Amino acid sequence: MSQRRKFNSQFKFKVVVEALSERLPFHELAKKYELHPNQITTWKKEFLKNGADIFGKEKALEEKKEDVDKLYKVIGQQKMEIDFLKKALS
């Protein structure tokens, strides 16, 4: 029984970029990387479909960072207030 091979995202990206460059036909790429041409086509379609999300993630990360910074600021203010109140009660 043969096992299914698993490919990491770096390998898939490398193959897709080479496919997009169109230097070699799919059947030659498939031979080069020991893949079925349909697999390369599938990865290419997936990349083209989801490629725009890469740039959207940058914006989402920036927004999350801003939210985290705001929360740290609130925590800092609350800590100062708690310390002040502790001193006032002493």
- Is residue 80 very low, low, confident or very high in pLDDT (cuts 50, 70, 90)? very high
Q: Per DSSP, which regions of 1-90 are E strands?
A: none
- Using the predicted structure, report yes or no on whether residue 4 has a pLDDT greater than 70: yes
In the 8-state DSSP scheme, what is residue 4?
P
**Taking the model in full, what pTM does it have?**
0.58
Please report where in the chains the tokens 């498939």 appear, as a residue.
Answer: 30
Question: Any idea what the Cα angle at residue 50 is, between residues 29 and 36, rounded to 5°?
Answer: 25
- Using the predicted structure, report yes or no on whether residue 82 has a pLDDT greater than 80: yes
What are the φ and ψ backbone dihedral angles of 47, each rounded to 5 degrees? -65, -45
| Spans of all domains in the chain | 9-89
Q: What is the pLDDT of residue 35?
A: 94
Q: What is the pLDDT of residue 77?
A: 94
- Which one-letter amino acid corresponds to residue 3? Q
How much of the chain exceeds pLDDT 70, in percent? Answer: 97
Average pLDDT taken over every residue of the chain: 89
In the 8-state DSSP scheme, what is residue 3?
P
23-60 tens-digit pLDDT: 999 899 999 999 999 999 999 999 999 887 777 677 77
Cβ contact 41:35 at 8 Å: no
